[in-house]
Structure 1
Amino acid sequence: MLSISAHFAIGQDLEPRSYANLPTGTNALALVYAYSKGNILTDPSKPIAGAEMKAHNLGFGYVRTFGLFQKLARVQFTIPYTFLSGKATINGRDTAAARNGFGDARIRVGINLFGSPALSPKEFRNYKQKTIFGISLVTSVPLGLYYKDKLINLGSNRWAFKPEVGISRRFRNFYAEAYAGIWFFTKNKSYLVNKLQEQEPVFSLQGHFNYYFKNQMWIGVNGNWFDGGETRVNEVPTGNLQDNWRIGATWSVPVNWQHSFKLQFHIGAFTNTGYDYNLVALSYQYVFF
């Protein structure tokens, strides 16, 4: 089955099966609800301490597969709507905040270069996956709610791009995969009204190990590590996202070949700056040709 997750912060992607082989002409729609609690304010340039935030996130996703140079390619679109509330200490003062609105959208375009031919649904029935190698480009589109004079926002007011490579392998009922990518950011020229915010690239590495049952239900463990991202405001260094780890698990239950549900959670295993929060997500997926 396809896998679609809503994304709520740069770097914390934990999305299994991004490079798995599928029939061409596959469409998938997903609705996601996610609840997160903790320090979800991840921008190291913000003078925020002790953040205790709660976020109810509603996400919509769509995936379409197609053939390109006789290889399997796909395009994916996701966008979240977030209800955020909580308290934090800003410049030594306790404050409360609430934000409701859209977050930044994500567009992923990818192609499997090796081990994943473009197959029709009929041809796909006889396909046995071994090793797949693919590449993709993820683009974060700044559509999210952003107030120029506020520290806490749902959008980032800048574009971000992540070229990524991925490899996956099927071993009977086991499925293993790993992705490596680097986030690049454009400048935010309206940070706190008229300041210039810049951020160095963030390197991200994630891995997944899944087990499939006979009815196509599957469970998996997930891990993510990211590093870098030194941030500057008006050319003054203000912090980075050095050496952060997140771990989680996924459980996908098919109703039939068209309908499935997925439960996912992940937590901060080791955190230097931001990302010290827990998240649980439930999604419904509908597949059609």
Structure 2
Amino acid sequence: MSSLVGKFKVLVAAILLVVFVLPEQARAQDLEPRRWGHLPTGLNMVGLGYVYTDAFVYFSPFWKITDTTARINSYAVSAIHTFDLAGKSARISFLLPFVSGRWEGKVDNQFEVVHRNGFADPRLRLSVNLYGAPALKGAEYAQYRAQHANNTVVGASLAVSVPLGQYDNDELINISANRWTVRPQLGVVHTRGSWSFELTGSMFLFSDNKNFIDNTRLEQKTIYAAQAHVIYDFRPGLWVSLSTGYGTHGRVYLEKQKTAFEVDNWLWAANFGFPIGKNQGVKLTWLSGRTQNDVGRDSDNLLLSWSMRWAN
């Protein structure tokens, strides 16, 4: 009987990883507009962000887990620095999230509540614009942008999430995924006057979690994702965008045994950015995600971020 209970806990934890931890890490493919924008070199940016998430989780009726919801408050600090990399404009960024959440639902008709607070896994990312965005600064950058109101930029990036967040292998719900995540991206943005059209493809590669609940080993296959954005700039710093994205695959294995759980998510988002003075900006985002599986989650997210920039 105890072995069955242990197996039940492990499988439930695997579901929670797919529908909670992973989407929070990846923000279900991010839906990040202006990802490949041409920036001057020697630019520094710092930012603060807040995300409110309201989610409903779907379990198979077999598990007798019903009415499962989550309300999560996420906070983050970020930093970006742009530089010249072999004549190409490049940037390196850092993100450190902190999560405070409440998960509740019925387990075999018994109401349960879980609270979690702590730092999530930090992320480092290196991005390089390979075509259409040379490394320039000052007057040279301003002149180039004025002469190329219509242009195409192609970029690539590599992001790494480091398993340093709060994790306890005795708990079903954790803030950290307790594994490395490596995400290569390739994207293109075409700008015509005030309009920009952006497309990005991503892969999420995971190391194994060797210390999953009840000392089991969790493995997840690669997730493939794509996102598209339409952006309109009213003037520098004042812009709006509409976005959509889709992520698929990512089958989960426990102790080398294939489970039924994988990612299959559609997302939509609307963004509004506006300046505060010359060197600051605010962005407001509404993001909604819907699972295409019987097991998964639907979520609505409200994001507010502030950033400040200065040049070397």
TM over 0.5: yes
Aligned residues of 2:242 and 2:269 also touching (Cα < 8 A): yes
Q: Quick one: distance in 2 between partners of 1:41 and 1:13?
A: 22
Amino acid at match of 2:44: N
- Give the 3 Å change call, closer, same or farther, for CA 172–146 of structure 1 in structure 2: same
- Give the 3 Å change call, closer, same or farther, for CA 25–48 of structure 1 in structure 2: farther
CA displacement at 1:243 relative to structure 2: 2.9
Which consecutive residues of structure 1, in runs of 5 or more, have no partner in the other structure? 1-6
Tell me, yes or no, if structure 1 residue 279 matches structure 2 residue 296: no
Larger Rg: 2
- State how many pairs are aligned: 280
Aligned residues of 1:30 and 1:285 also touching (Cα < 8 A): yes
Deviations 1:67-116 (A, max 9, x none): 00100011111111111112034577542100000111111111111001
- Give the 3 Å change call, closer, same or farther, for CA 253–41 of structure 1 in structure 2: farther
- Give the 3 Å change call, closer, same or farther, for CA 242–155 of structure 1 in structure 2: closer
Tell me, yes or no, if structure 1 residue 126 matches structure 2 residue 126: no
- Give the 3 Å change call, closer, same or farther, for CA 70–36 of structure 1 in structure 2: same
- Give identity over the alignment, percent: 30
- Give the 3 Å change call, closer, same or farther, for CA 262–81 of structure 1 in structure 2: same
Amino acid at match of 1:108: R
Amino acid at match of 1:166: G
Which consecutive residues of structure 2, in runs of 5 or more, have no partner in the other structure? 1-22
Moved more, 121-130 or 74-83: 121-130
Match of 1:205 among 189, 204, 226: 226
Task: State how 1:178-193 maps to structure 2 within 5 Å.
Answer: 178-193=199-214
Task: State how 1:116-265 maps to structure 2 within 5 Å.
Answer: 116-128=133-145, 129=148, 130-214=151-235, 216-265=237-286
Amino acid at match of 2:51: A
Match of 1:68 among 76, 85, 100: 85
Moved more, 233-242 or 176-185: 233-242
**Partner of 1:288 in structure 2?**
310
C-alpha RMSD of the superposition:
2.1
Tell me, yes or no, if structure 1 residue 78 matches structure 2 residue 64: no
Task: State how 1:13-162 maps to structure 2 within 5 Å.
Answer: 13-39=30-56, 50-90=67-107, 94-128=111-145, 129=148, 130-162=151-183
Aligned residues of 2:90 and 2:129 also touching (Cα < 8 A): yes
Q: TM-score, normalised by structure 1?
A: 0.91
Q: Quick one: distance in 2 between partners of 1:135 and 1:92?
A: 49
Q: Secondary structure at the match of 1:243?
A: strand
